[in-house]
């Protein structure tokens, strides 16, 4: 299922989540039922993230390369594609040009 074009009836935390000197930036969305997601952008570069809980990353625009911890090969993803990361794990994500936009769901 593709990510929605808009999300309604959520609270947006105005304080940005800023990583890697501003090259990855997101804002937290809090749903009425307490569910939390983030929506953000990734500038060109290669980044390593660790996860506490399971996450689903949906690519909204742009392209990126992803390699989950323990995997040997990376995958290239574009708009409408997603990947899941187990809790207490990690992943590498790389954007070669332009920006990638994403929606991250905490499962």
Helix (H, G, I), strand (E, B) or coil at 77: strand
Centre a 10 Å sphere on the Cβ of residue 63 and count the other Cβ atoms it contains. Answer: 16
Domain ranges of the chain: 12-106
The pTM assigned to this predicted structure is 0.94
CATH number for the segment(s) 12-106: 2.60.120.10
Q: What is the pLDDT of residues 27-84, one digit of tens each?
A: 999 999 999 999 999 999 999 999 999 999 999 999 999 999 999 999 999 999 999 9
- Is residue 101 over pLDDT 90? yes
Residue 1's pLDDT band (cuts 50, 70, 90): low
Residue 2 has pLDDT above 90, yes or no: no
Overall size of the chain counted in residues? 107
**CA atoms of 80 and 21, how far apart (whole Å):** 27
Q: Is 101 helix (H, G, I), strand (E, B) or coil?
A: strand
């Amino acid at each position: 299922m593709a990510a929605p074009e808009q999300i309604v009836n959520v609270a947006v935390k105005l304080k940005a989540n800023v990583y890697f000197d501003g090259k990855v930036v997101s804002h937290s969305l809090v749903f009425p039922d307490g569910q939390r997601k983030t929506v953000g952008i990734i500038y060109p570069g290669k980044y390593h993230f660790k996860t506490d809980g399971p996450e689903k990353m949906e690519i909204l625009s742009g392209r990126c390369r992803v390699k989950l911890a323990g995997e040997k090969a990376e995958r290239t993803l574009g708009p409408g594609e997603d990947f899941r990361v187990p809790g207490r794990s990690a992943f590498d994500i790389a954007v070669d040009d332009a920006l990638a936009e994403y929606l991250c769901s905490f499962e």
